[in-house]
Structure 1
């Protein structure tokens, strides 16, 4: 009998925890309708092009040119070498991508959200320069996806009223 009471009590406690689905309402819910109303401003450079595309993929295309919000993103992309051999050659690199983003209300120009996101990746430096450059580019593509996920998650929390 005691084996059945404990799970029952835990189930009752779980329903009172206050959790609610972030994307409730589906594509017509508050979060989804807010995300689709965000226009991502152009971002400089190759990393900016990758980031803007990743954000647009996740946010969806604004329904019209009069978006409720503008998203302004500034990127900081760094590659630093470490893991130095006795002959001063670098054996390992770290690529760091940081983004400062601001969500701006289009009608008033007021900044309603100002935050940062970032990620880093390790890169092996090999004897082939081509392979090292390809690894650096792959790391940038992966970091862009991870940072875009972080940004959209934070925007979703803002839209959900957190």
Structure 2
């Protein structure tokens, strides 16, 4: 490209990017940034069941929440987990399953007791049912682990967006 068109294209791109002054990275500042510090101040109480244990561990890992000392918020999570047969043969044999994990969560300000965020998250996965019972159980467990991480990721993203905005 000749120098003049390249220079004009560069100037146009610079002008367009200057108009996006309101955009900034969510996790600017890394671990010491505003969002990271706010997320580390979120306490996650125990969640019932195996899926609750998996989701809570994923949340604590992603939030960077150490202990309950210095927590400013509490994240209450209720889960709904289902496993249903989808593909059914004429002899009533299930050939396909769908595993779903839904979460309703509330972010509570510990100082005032106000609910700052009330939202839902969810994910689902399809599984093939094969002749090996062990393989089916392993696939169901793996699906639950993956769904737990996915739901926790959705929750952390929503909480981060909420805590990034000025209260």
TM-score range, shorter-chain basis? over 0.9
Give the corresponding residue for 2:12. 9
Tell me if structure 2 keeps the 8 A contact 1:38–1:62. Answer: no
What is the TM-score of this pair, normalised by structure 1?
Answer: 0.93
Aligned-CA RMSD value: 1.5
Instruction: Please list every run of 5 or more consecutive structure 1 residues that lacks an aligned counterpart in the other structure.
Output: none
Question: Which stretch has the larger CA shift, 8-17 or 33-42?
Answer: 8-17
Question: In structure 1, which of residues 86, 100, 105 is the aligned counterpart of residue 104 of structure 2?
Answer: 100
Distance apart, 1:149 and its partner CA: 0.7
5+ residue gaps, structure 2, are none
Equivalent-residue separation in structure 2 for 1:119 and 1:105 (angstroms)? 27
TM-score between the two structures when normalised by the length of structure 2: 0.91
Deviation, 1:80, is: 1.1
| Cα displacement (A) at 1:3 | 4.3
Matches within 5 A, 1:13-162: 13-17=16-20, 18-62=22-66, 64-161=68-165
